[in-house]
Amino acid sequence: MSDKTKLNCLSDNEWQDLKNIIIFGIGRQGKKMFQTLADNFNILAIIDNDEKKIGTIYQDYKIKRLDDVAELIKETKIIVTTSQYYYKDIRKQLEGKGLVENIDFVMYQQFITEWFYKYQKKIYLLKTDISLTTRCTLNCKNCMQFLPYWDEVGENSLESIDENLECYFDCVDYLFDLDIVGGEPFLYSKLYDFVELIGRNYRDKIGYVGFITNGTIVPKDEVLELMSKYNFQVSITDYSQNITYKHRIPELIKKLEQYGITYMRNINIDWFDFGFPEKKYCYDDKYAVTHMAICNSIEHVLDNQRLYYCGLEWSAQKGKLFEDEEKAYIDLQRLRGRTPEERKQILEMILGNIEGGYLEFCKYCGGFGIDNNNRVNTAEQMPRRK
Ligand code: SF4
């Protein structure tokens, strides 16, 4: 980690007494952030660039265009809740209105990581993923976790998951978004116990909690009941327009609605070509710094009592497809019970303050940034190796 902090973008005069905000972007990330932002600030408006959303209602807010709130933006800070890929255009759009980055508006990742530390001395993280199992009902050639290339897949014990979470919340005060992933997480054999574990021990420290599923499995009624009780949500990645596969999405949706579980159904998702492991990119050290900064990954993973900066590198390491490198993670064990100042290094890493400015894996990976215009066929299947 370099000495140059990444936690000093927001100037005190502008941000310290923040009360009112505007949310810019009410896609997947905006929806996940909404409740915790609403619990901490007055949301004066939600705006979006998607014409299909304009005029629709989300949580009692009528979604507006930027031009509809021309007066409001002069005196209200804007939190932009879009992926890095779209942020550049939105920044240009806001600058075109005379607004200045980090004074009048800020990207949500920077905001959450910096604001709560600076002004409340708390370690708040935007997003962390936890994998229950690396078994999956699909076998996608371009899986973001490279699972078809692993020699061995399997599930994590409930005890190890609990140890991870206990260690994590000894270091992190609050998490905005916990994504429960797999493989296919609904394959997990202890699903009921896992939901109970989160619900009982950690639910008050997490904003959004959601499973990411491919819609091939419908959990048992007793699990759905518990998910409803603890306000778990579900994000269904629907590949039915891309591939023919045996999904149970209509049945799953019916059940989720029956139990009052909020869900998102995501279709037509573009898949980035990460290159790894078959056609690796090959960036040099110098470009890798820019490449990682442009990527600005929010895919952080909790495993083995460590917080990994990048889920892709975690997966490549865990699957023994790439050598371990220490700077890819923070060892949470050694930060347990430490002061916020000592735990601040978690935030620095989350914002990409990493020794040398990049991860070794970034040299071989296409990333999520605007320098990656390569796409692959979404969810294309390949034969299983065994
Ligand atoms: S470029 Fe690839 S390895 Fe580097 S942070 Fe982004 S997704 Fe991770």
pLDDT at 17 over 70: yes
Judged against a pLDDT cut of 90, whether residue 4 lies above it is answered with: no
**Does 301 sit in the ligand 1 pocket, CB within 6 Å?**
no
Cα 20 to Cα 62, 68, 86, distances in angstroms:
17, 17, 24
| Ligand 1 closest atom vs CA 310 | 8
Q: Residue 348 in contact with residue 6, Cβ under 8 Å? A: yes
Q: Is residue 14 pLDDT above 80, yes or no?
A: yes
User: Averaged over 259-272, what is the pLDDT?
Assistant: 94
| Minimal-distance CA residue to ligand 1 atom 2 | 367
Q: Is the CB of 367 under 6 A from ligand 1?
A: yes
> pLDDT tens-digit profile of 213-252?
999 999 999 999 999 999 999 999 999 999 999 999 999 9
Per-residue confidence at 8, pLDDT binned at 50, 70, 90?
Answer: very high
Q: Where in the chain is the domain with CATH 3.40.50.720?
A: 12-119
Answer whether 141's CB lies under 8 Å from 381's CB.
yes
pLDDT of residue 119: 97
- Cα(120) to centroid of ligand 1, in Å? 30
User: Which of 127, 294, 362, 371 maximizes ligand 1 atoms within 8 Å of its Cβ, making it the mutation to test the pocket?
Assistant: 362
pLDDT in tens, 299-330: 999 999 999 999 999 999 999 999 999 999 99
pLDDT digits (tens, 9 = 90+) for 134-150: 999 999 999 999 999 99
Going by pLDDT thresholds of 50, 70 and 90, the confidence category of residue 84 is confident
pLDDT attached to residue 26: 96
Cα 87 to Cα 79, 82, 93, 99, 369: the distances in Å are: 11, 6, 10, 14, 10
pTM of this prediction?
0.95
Whole-number Å distance between alpha carbons of 320 and 324: 8
- Eight-class DSSP state of 63: P
Determine if ligand 1 sits within 6 Å of the CB of residue 300: no
Listed in sequence order, the residues at least 6 apart from 120 whose beta carbon sits closer than 8 Å to its beta carbon are: none
Query: Tokens in use for 314?
Result: 């975690």
More confident residue, 337 or 95: 95
* Whether residue 3 has pLDDT greater than 90: no
Q: Tens of pLDDT along 277-289?
A: 999 999 999 999 9
- Identify the band that residue 386 occupies on the pLDDT scale cut at 50, 70 and 90: low
pLDDT at 2 over 80: no
Q: How much is the mean pLDDT over the chain? A: 96
CATH number of the 122-376 domain: 3.20.20
Q: Is 354 in the pocket of ligand 1 (CB under 6 A)?
A: no
pLDDT higher than 70, residue 42: yes
Q: Kindly list the strands in the beta sheet with 77-80, ordered across the sheet, starting from the edge strand earlier in the chain.
A: 42-47, 20-24, 77-80, 105-107
Distance (Å) from CA 298 to ligand 1 centroid = 10
- Average pLDDT of the segment spanning 80-100: 93
List every span in the chain annotated with CATH 3.20.20. 122-376
CATH 3.40.50.20 describes domain 12-119: no
Binding site membership of 297 for ligand 1 (Cβ less than 6 Å):
yes
Residue entry with tokens 């890819």: 328
- How high is the pLDDT of residue 85? 82
Q: Whose CA is nearest to atom 7 of ligand 1?
A: 367
| 347-365 residue pLDDT tens | 999 999 999 999 999 999 9
pLDDT digits (tens, 9 = 90+) for 154-195: 999 999 999 999 999 999 999 999 999 999 999 999 999 999
